[in-house]
Amino acid sequence: MSELALDALHHETRRFPPPEDLAREANATAETYAAAETDRLGFWEEQARALSWEAPWSQVLDWQRPFSKWFVGGRLNACVNAVDRHVENGAGEKVAFHWIGDGERERRDVTYADLQREVCKAANALTSLNVKAGDRVTIYMPMIPETVVTMLACARIGAPHNVVFCGFSSDSLRGRILDSDSRVVVTTDGQFRRGAPTPVKPAVDEALEACPDVRSVLVVRRTGDEVAWNDARDVWWHDVVDSASDQHEAAAFDAEHPLFMMYTSGTTAKPKGILHTTGGYLTHVSATHRLVFDLKPDRDIYWCAADIGWITGHSYIVYGPLINQATSLMYEGTPHPNDKARWWKLIQDHKVTILYTAPTTIRTLMKWGAEELEPYDLSSLRLLGSVGEPINPEAWMWYRDTVGGGRTPVVDTWWQTETGGIMITPLPGVTATKPGAAMTPFPGVSADVVDNDGKSVPDGGGGFLVLTEPWPGMLRGIWGDDERYKQTYWSRFEGVYFAGDGAKRDEDGDLWLLGRVDDVMNVSGHRISTTEVEHALVSHPSVAEAAVVGATDATTGQAIVAFVTPRGSVAEDESSGDEFVQSLRDHVAKQIGPIAKPRQVLVTPELPKTRSGKIMRRLLRDIAEHRELGDVTTLLDPTVTDAIRERMAGGSEKEE
């Protein structure tokens, strides 16, 4: 653990006990912790019983470290649990999603009965495209109800979905289609971004130039813009889904049947397909959604402001809330400076009671100022959640006091794509919270903070966060690569799962997350690998070598800073210009997606290396964060850093 991160830790003494009215009726009480403490597996079984099972399990957990099976022998259908059973129980007319378009005028209310009809049609359409149980379907779609419908239709027929965030490039999409070996892709003609239509399908067309096995592309008409059409492959949603029967009998699948995969960045250039299965995942996300957000289906309007293209959207827009019969707000847009009050208007107009978002968004809204929200009535809010990166105490306090009017508990929830659901979090009716701390493992979750040798640190100590027992929502592996699964998560410390995060346990034993300790950056709550960006940079014909680091950024948490040495063939005046830097930034956006565009690119004749030839990333990070440099005696050529620093101070950096 870097000393710097430890030093930066706030010595926080403020405590916020749960509001009495919330505590009185809370879904989770001190008893919940006690029950899980006494019988961990029994606790998870109890949570699993909230689902509808076609056949019961015969064994809660089969643990062949590091591979787990949960609810062995149990059979269920994910979509039936999320949709059909609510309709059968008379809640068909209940709104599942108040969907709000990016523009001002578009909105759609989708009830559970609507969902059931649409999902049945889509399931029939996918079946007519010859999608069978076990076949992977890649979904590349914006934040529209059809995206949820497609996911649920896949789940209904047992075809694992592979949702790729719509902001990823065609190259990234292609890699994910190929690795998952998807034969069918679902997409849209375009999407609306900040009021303007932007194309989506062209990225799919480009990706498919090198995916010969994809036989069908199902296209939702969203913007109505002209698109290129391949008659042999492309089919319109309105042709095959709208005309399909709205009757579909759902079969039950094994609890360990793959539900979905989701690619995420690791420390190497190749994203990993994180695999999640059915029974354990659904148990985990529905239990955490009910207990962490204290969800009351008849009273709450719940808004998780994530994108469905990330795990937060899967677990806490789609599966958790639907299983709990929630009414959610689903918003297509993201906060933007031309409409700073949109969020507050949405909360007021829809009487949102629970809001779940990322620190980077909170900081952006905070920057725009309290005066933006003052004209609005936000008194409906009763609970606020944070996820994606460590939340700084200032943002936490602003969230609680200014957004929540000082009434609302803030739950800072730590988890990962790999964990499937929330792992470390306060429980709103039980935990006295501290600004910036994720506090305690969720009931039934076992976590520890260990030192370099894997020894548990005492209270007050810092180290690495590990998970010491299996949990139902845990990844079942990396798609097609068991070895990498073992290597990545289970090799750093004997017998325990290493998350890649640094953490501190304070004097009271409460947990504070300190950010990644590996070569993974966290930009606006999105995981981006330094290696992946480096690979993108060196694929540019003018680049010889590249090193990428994450530098602290006041809004996005971390920002990408790249150090690049041009090839010898590139003339000095060419490589020193703004245009060159811009072309490199664009190149990365094209290769990976706009989210991976470096904030700064620094062109330098050489990179600082140790005598053994390793790039000194820590030093580059110090430079990027304008810190005094520490020990550079192992450096091959100490003058290199001076040269880089000079350039950094000069005009060759580019910020947006």
> Which is nearer to ligand WT7, 229 or 490 (by Cβ)?
490
Least Cβ distance, residue 447 to ligand WT7 (angstroms): 13
The reply to whether 534 sits near ligand WT7 by the rule CB under 6 A is: no
Least Cβ distance, residue 516 to ligand WT7 (angstroms): 5
Which residue from 551, 554, 557 is spatially nearest to 653, judged by alpha carbons? 551
Among 320-328, 382-390, 607-615, 646-654, the segment contacting ligand WT7 (CB under 6 A): 382-390
The reply to whether 521 sits near ligand WT7 by the rule CB under 6 A is: no
CA dihedral of 624, 626, 632, 637, whole degrees rounded to 10: 60
- Residue whose token pair is 């620094």: 602
Least Cβ distance, residue 515 to ligand WT7 (angstroms): 6
> Which is nearer to ligand WT7, 258 or 390 (by Cβ)?
390
> Which is nearer to ligand WT7, 70 or 464 (by Cβ)?
464
Give the long-range contacts of residues 525-529, CB within 8 A, separation 24 or more: 525/358, 525/359, 525/360, 525/387, 525/388, 525/389, 525/557, 526/310, 526/388, 526/595, 527/264, 527/265, 527/417, 528/265, 528/560, 528/592, 528/595, 528/596, 529/265, 529/266, 529/267, 529/268, 529/269, 529/271
Are 403 and 425 spatial neighbours (Cβ–Cβ below 8 Å)? Answer: no
Within its chain, how far is the Cα of 282 from the centroid? 17
Least Cβ distance, residue 503 to ligand WT7 (angstroms): 9
Least Cβ distance, residue 162 to ligand WT7 (angstroms): 15
Among 119-127, 413-421, 561-569, 624-632, the segment contacting ligand WT7 (CB under 6 A): 413-421
Least Cβ distance, residue 417 to ligand WT7 (angstroms): 3
The reply to whether 559 sits near ligand WT7 by the rule CB under 6 A is: no
The reply to whether 558 sits near ligand WT7 by the rule CB under 6 A is: no
Least Cβ distance, residue 213 to ligand WT7 (angstroms): 28
The reply to whether 390 sits near ligand WT7 by the rule CB under 6 A is: yes
H/E run at residue 537: helix 530-538
Residues of span 276-315 touching ligand WT7 by CB under 6 A: 311-312
CA distance linking residue 364 with residue 352, whole number of Å: 20
Among the listed residues 527, 535, 587, 617, the single contact to ligand WT7 using CB under 6 A: 527
Among 89-97, 247-255, 472-480, 520-528, the segment contacting ligand WT7 (CB under 6 A): 520-528
Among the listed residues 399, 415, 485, 498, the single contact to ligand WT7 using CB under 6 A: 415
The count of chain residues that interact with ligand WT7, using the rule CB under 6 A, is 23
Are 290 and 324 spatial neighbours (Cβ–Cβ below 8 Å)? Answer: yes
| β-pair type (327-331, 95-100) | parallel
CA distance linking residue 56 with residue 164, whole number of Å: 33
> Which is nearer to ligand WT7, 70 or 415 (by Cβ)?
415
Which residue from 369, 368, 653, 335 is spatially nearest to 524, judged by alpha carbons? 335
Least Cβ distance, residue 500 to ligand WT7 (angstroms): 5
Among the listed residues 389, 448, 534, 622, the single contact to ligand WT7 using CB under 6 A: 389
The reply to whether 431 sits near ligand WT7 by the rule CB under 6 A is: no
The reply to whether 52 sits near ligand WT7 by the rule CB under 6 A is: no
What does DSSP assign to residue 404?
Answer: S
The dihedrals phi and psi of 251, each to the nearest 5 degrees, come to -90, 150
The reply to whether 163 sits near ligand WT7 by the rule CB under 6 A is: no
Q: How many CB atoms lie within 10 A of CB 142?
A: 25
Among the listed residues 198, 416, 468, 576, the single contact to ligand WT7 using CB under 6 A: 416
Are 282 and 70 spatial neighbours (Cβ–Cβ below 8 Å)? Answer: no
> Which is nearer to ligand WT7, 190 or 421 (by Cβ)?
421
Among the listed residues 68, 440, 522, 530, the single contact to ligand WT7 using CB under 6 A: 522
Q: What is the DSSP string of 344-382?
A: HHHHHHHT--EEEE-HHHHHHHHHH-GGGTTTS--TT--
The reply to whether 200 sits near ligand WT7 by the rule CB under 6 A is: no
What does DSSP assign to residue 636?
Answer: S
Least Cβ distance, residue 315 to ligand WT7 (angstroms): 8
CA distance linking residue 92 with residue 69, whole number of Å: 33
The reply to whether 417 sits near ligand WT7 by the rule CB under 6 A is: yes
Letters for 478-517 (x = contact with ligand WT7 by CB under 6 A, - = none) are ---------------------xxx-----------x-xx-
Among the listed residues 412, 510, 519, 534, the single contact to ligand WT7 using CB under 6 A: 412
| β-pair type (520-523, 258-264) | unpaired
> Which is nearer to ligand WT7, 46 or 481 (by Cβ)?
481
Q: Which residues contact 473 (CB under 8 A, 6 or more apart)?
A: 276, 280, 281, 283, 284, 285, 315, 419, 420, 421
Q: Which residues bind ligand WT7 (CB under 6 A)?
A: 264, 311-312, 387-390, 412-417, 438, 499-501, 513, 515-516, 522, 525, 527
